[in-house]
């Protein structure tokens, strides 16, 4: 299979509004987390601090820490633009899978009342579900993927 054919298949998407809504919701949610990790915005620790935490405290290999930061920052931008939606959704979904696994000891529910040890994994599960839907459906209407792969008849 040629590279251009593979790229076309990865970017192919329909004109439905539903994946566009999912894509924008996931992008708007994940991008600020990426900006915390890359630039230290929104109370984050920036790239160096985040890499130190993920590799030192969490014990993640540097490549996985880097890919998580990339998935949340660049992946968030890609989701908002709808460019490489399936690839971006895969990165965000994988990052949320690992994060959810890290939170499993805290139970299912978010820590709304401050009564439990930490946050549960329900948020991560929701993000994974959206990511999987986007990997299946693509970026949908108003996506760069749609504009690049649309054929005229």
Segment 101-134, tens digit of pLDDT: 999 999 999 888 888 888 999 999 999 999 999 9
Does 22 fall in a domain?
A: yes
What dihedral do alpha carbons 152, 135, 133, 66 form, nearest 10°? -130
Does 66 fall in a domain?
A: yes
Does 1 fall in a domain?
A: no
Does 54 fall in a domain?
A: yes
Predicted TM-score of the model (pTM): 0.90
Does 5 fall in a domain?
A: no
pLDDT digits (tens, 9 = 90+) for 5-30: 777 888 889 889 999 999 999 999 99
Residue 132, domain extent: 12-149
How many domains does the structure of the chain reveal? 1
């Amino acid at each position: 299979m040629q590279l251009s054919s593979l790229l076309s298949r990865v970017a192919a998407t329909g004109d439905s509004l539903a994946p566009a809504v999912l894509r924008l919701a996931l992008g708007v949610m994940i991008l600020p987390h990426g900006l915390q990790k890359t630039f230290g915005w929104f109370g984050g620790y920036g790239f160096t601090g985040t890499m130190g935490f993920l590799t030192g405290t969490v014990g993640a290999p540097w490549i996985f820490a880097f890919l998580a930061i990339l998935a949340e920052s660049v992946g968030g931008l890609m989701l908002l633009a709808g460019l490489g939606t399936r690839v971006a959704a895969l990165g965000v979904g994988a990052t949320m899978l690992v994060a959810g696994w890290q939170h499993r000891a805290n139970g299912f529910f978010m820590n709304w009342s401050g009564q439990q040890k930490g946050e549960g994994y329900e948020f991560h599960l929701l993000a994974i579900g959206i990511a999987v839907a986007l990997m299946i459906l693509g970026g949908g209407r108003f996506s760069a993927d749609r504009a690049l792969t649309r054929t005229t008849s």
